[in-house]
Chains A and B, each alone.
Chain A
Amino acid sequence: MTDQLHRLSRKFWQRSLSLAAILGLALPLSQIAVAPAKAAQKGSLIIGIDETASEYWAEYTQGAQDIANSLGAKLIVVTSNYQGSQLLAQLGAIFATGCDQCALATDPSSNAFVKAVVHRSAMAQVPIVTIWNRPENIHPWDTDPKYWVAHTSFDGVMSGYYQAQALCKALGGHGQIAAIEGVPSTPPAYQRIAGLKKALAECPGVTLLDTEVGDWQETKAQNITRTWIARYGSKLNGIFASNDAMARGAVAALREKNLNGKIPVTGSDGSKVALDMVKSGDMLVTVWNDPVLQGAVSIAIAHAAAVGDIDPAKLTHAQRDFYLKQEVVDKSNVDHFLDLKAHAPNYTYAELKADFWKDSAGELPVGANK
């Protein structure tokens, strides 16, 4: 009898613990603001970003939010976590609720998903502007041209070129450098390395010792740089990192040997951390790509097509496939960009509408995405 009681009471405890655990799990759910998405409101703006825990994407979202605020429209953010199939599925879910005069600006997460994402958007009759990723052989004017309004990116070749030029100058035209590449299948990764090689061809005294893939990640770049220091020692005079996160990883590895500031490191993006490091002298240069501007311009153009302010069919190729301007940041002008970072301009749709292409740096050349 007592045995049975014992078992019963144990069972009871187990059940109530289960219940408590479920409640414990469910409570955080209610903490996360759930804003039930009825059918997306008329004129909603949708952006697709790669991840939330990133300064770059937070600023991109900020730019899009500015435009949404100026229009009094709702901004819907979809996160792919670098998974194209997830982006497709989530966009499908949003379009499913019905979308009138919606506009979409998104990174298709990789070249492979561009066509599918554009097609999905066109099926839902939502104008789309893509950023960063576009395969070489498809363009807004030849693939679902009615809805794929434009593609915009930053010129990776120029960025790599600027960085390598700065390295060449800092080394006085003589020395050996090593390069850390981003995720190999993304256009900015191979473009920036191509720019590096272009600049080195013009600077014959500087040679490339080694290239490794750091997948855009700080920790990987740190490990690679540590290995390089051990292998090349004083032969290594400079490090070319394809983005700021990897530059930071490289600087962290140099700092372990008190070499930071002594071996110049370059990066690209213009993140806050990189600007700080340029100011402190740990980094030589970074290239300023303005994500706030990119977010504002890309979603504004998509919205303009959705409400009829522009007609995609009447746009030139240079208006449908363009780079946004970028600038080199070194110690001499870093304060200006730090200030810009702290007080990003508040973009409005009306202001951008005057000339959507004011900050364009020209059409993507043929072969840019090869």
Chain B
Amino acid sequence: MKNMSPTTSARISAQQSDRSFALHARRWLQNLGPLGVLIVLLLVFEAARHNFLSAGNLAAIAEASAVPVILTTGLSFVILLGAIDLSMEGVMAASSMTLSLLCANDVNGNHWGIWGIAAAIGVGLAFGLVNGLLNTILRMPSLIVTLGTWFIGLGIASILFPSQVPTVQDHWVLSIASTHIAGLSLIVFVAIMLLVLFHLLLHYTHLGRMIFAVGGAEATLVMTGLPVPLFKLAAFIISGLMAGIAGVLLSARLGDGNANIGDGLLFPAVSACVLGGTLLSGGRGGVLPSAIGAVVLEVLNNGLIQIGAGPYVRNIISGAVILIVVAVSGLHLRRKLRVVK
């Protein structure tokens, strides 16, 4: 733009701001889609069962959504790259076992207190690091790397498992779940805090912008000489970190270490990201949309329990809702030559 006359440049920039306004508006609308689904669901369930929107039930939904929101926050970073992290269930198992064996418990004499929490979160971080290294340096596809580390996480948990369920007796850990502010446990506030923190990280830092860029056009970015592997590594570490934190929070809530603590959380988390509008091909979405997706799933689950739908029907309905929402919200993106994998 250096050699342009002032008028041309002004015209172009006006056009650009026009376009960017339209772009912004459109993006907002897209973000509102999942929110709309959420509101519709809430209203439908309220109509079907009065007092669905009672404070008590909303709090129950918030409690149930807290951990899925944390998981989708981490997962979003990896998905924004166009990669995937399947290891969270294994990471949570390993982190839960680490926590319950290092903090005061009824199996061994350890009493690491807050360092036990740090160690358990550190386990998550280490898993993220290993995932990232295997993906970037050994150039192995993330899907298979994280599938492998999923098994390894479960394995670490089963090696650590003593002959009986370790019960956590640490005051620090238990107070995470037992401290209530305004009827909500600290876990909900931790989730909100992490969500805000990583939303800011994603949208207002260099790293965040680079993660979007990697997801959008990795090949181009590599050619610019930017340290792309570092950005990818960071995303995997964030994802592992979140899974580690989730493991700690879940064990705090249960009050014990459990190797099956993360069972059945992975696929809903991936679905939540997609529901919220984070594209699996990368480059588009964010932690807030993903979090909305997670809340939608929890509302659906809670509501279906409330109206007394059996567990089998619940599977069918939630599968169908996921498909319909994703199909409808993706309609405007349909193009003849669009690549969808």
Contact = CB atoms under 8 A, between A and B. Distances in A.
A217 B263 contact: yes
A224 B308 CA distance: 12
Interface stretch (B14-22, B161-169, B199-207): B161-169
Interface string B141-181: 00000000000000001110101110100000000011010
Contacts of A213: 311
Contacts of A255: 178, 255
Interface stretch (B80-88, B131-139, B217-225, B279-287): B131-139
Interface stretch (B56-64, B288-296, B324-332): B56-64
A252 B308 CA distance: 23
Contacts of A230: 54, 56-57, 59-60
B165 A271 contact: yes
B260 interface: yes
Nearest to A61: B163
A272 interface: yes
Interface residues of A, number: 40
A58 B160 CA distance: 13
Nearest to B257: A53
B153 to A, nearest CB: 12
Contacts of A62: 163
The residue in B167, B178, B259, B305 that gathers the most chain A C-beta atoms within 10 A of its C-beta is B305
A53 B305 contact: no
A78 to B, nearest CB: 14
Given A21-B138, A62-B163, A227-B302, A51 B56 contact: no
B260 A227 contact: no
B281 to A, nearest CB: 27
B110 interface: no
Contacts, number: 104
B158 A219 contact: no
A217 B260 contact: yes
B165 A55 contact: yes
A53 B137 contact: no
B254 interface: yes
A53 B155 CA distance: 9
B163 A218 contact: no
Contact of A55 (B164, B250, B308): B164
A37 B335 CA distance: 58
A146 B80 CA distance: 60
Given A227-B60, A230-B54, A59 B163 contact: yes
B185 interface: yes
B258 interface: yes
For the residues of A in contact with B, the DSSP-based class is helix
A212 B311 CA distance: 7
Nearest to A28: B152
A219 B138 contact: no
Nearest to A271: B165
Contacts of B138: 17-18, 21
Contacts of A83: none
Interface string A31-75: 010000000000000000001111100110010000000000000
A226 B63 contact: yes
B59 A249 contact: no
A233 B51 CA distance: 11
A53 B157 contact: yes
A215 B64 CA distance: 17
Contacts of B306: 227, 231
Contact of A218 (B97, B161, B178, B258): B258
A167 B106 CA distance: 29
Nearest to B180: A256
A222 interface: yes
B188 to A, nearest CB: 11
A210 interface: yes
B64 A219 contact: no
Contacts of B301: 223
A272 B165 contact: yes
Interface in B190-235: none
B259 A53 contact: yes
A226 B260 contact: no
* Most central of A17, A217, A226 by chain B CB within 10 Å: A226
B305 A227 contact: yes
Given A224-B305, A255-B178, 11 more contacts: A51-B158, A54-B259, A58-B161, A218-B261, A219-B263, A226-B64, A231-B306, A252-B177, A255-B255, A256-B253, A273-B256
27 contacts: A17-B138, A18-B137, A21-B137, A21-B138, A51-B158, A51-B259, A52-B158, A53-B161, A53-B259, A58-B161, A58-B163, A217-B264, A218-B260, A219-B250, A224-B305, A226-B60, A229-B56, A230-B54, A230-B59, A231-B306, A249-B254, A255-B178, A256-B63, A256-B177, A256-B180, A256-B185, A271-B165
